[in-house]
Amino acid sequence: MPYPQVARPSDRPTRCPGFTLIELLVVISIIALLIAILLPALGAARAAARTSQSLSNTRQISIAAFTYQTDSKSFYLPYKGLNNSASYLGLPPSEFRWAGKLVKDGYMPGIEAFVCPALETTRNLHLNADPSNEADNLWFRVHYGMNNTYLGSMLQSPASSYLVANQDEANTTPRASQIKNPTETIYFTDAYNQALLYGASLGVPTGLQIDERVGIDYVFPGADPPGVAYGHADARHLGSINVGWADGHGDNVKVADPTDFWGPDELTDYRDDDNYWDRE
């Protein structure tokens, strides 16, 4: 009589232990907590990386402009070239714009260094600026602005005095010897055309649109209302502005009130007792 066969342990079906609902909820909670902790840190790291890249751009622009100055008998780079028979207020005709001139003359390799990773524009048309055409008005849209009234020209005044009788003031720039404190005189900053948000119309000749978020190639201080003032230093790096100074160096500067584009912070407003904007 045959003996009944007994299933060997290896022949018996195995059953994998599973997670209970409570264990799954605990794991999910831990993952969610880790994500909540890491996301702000990752966001801060990305913001710091954008600030660092923008500061690198600012320094590259400042060094290029300083090199131009060295090659030009110590005269600073002009904001733009103007036809003496044309009104200064009217944008065209123009012989060049400063960013286009730096690229055209070989001081900058291309448009890339004029693009700030922290500025989200509505239209990146400046990327189409013709590197062989220094007068292309798309250069107007670069994300970094020049201190055009004190270093990029001899106008020496904020926007209210742009209509000048002597065009040589707009066509001529100061020499290095005329800047009393170049290590603390603004040359370039992060720039933003804030006035477009308020319905200002300047820029129509360059194809700008009302409410368009875009960079601008000049900055100046002053307390003019938003509908009048256009290019201002933009504290888009966690309350700080990247600045290229008149001696060619660049650094990141915290501002007192990042929400106020028109002062009284020293990087956004002109005061007679500071030397960040003027030649004193």
Domain positions in the chain are 44-254
Share of the chain above pLDDT 70, in %: 65
The model's pLDDT over 127-159, given as tens digits with 9 standing for 90+, comes to: 788 899 888 888 888 999 999 888 988 877 554
Environment class of 225 (CB within 10 Å of its CB; exposed 0-12, middle 13-18, buried 19+): exposed
> Do 131 and 159 touch, CB atoms closer than 8 A?
no
Lowest-pLDDT choice from 62-71, 75-84, 145-154? 75-84
Q: Which residue type sits at 84? A: N
Share of the chain above pLDDT 90, in %: 26
Where do runs of H (alpha helix) occur along the chain? Answer: 21-71, 98-104, 168-171
Whether the per-residue pLDDT at 17 is higher than 80: the answer is: no
> Do 169 and 153 touch, CB atoms closer than 8 A?
yes
Per-residue model confidence (pLDDT) at position 85: 44
C-alpha radius of gyration, the chain, whole number: 28
Mean pLDDT computed over 216-233: 69
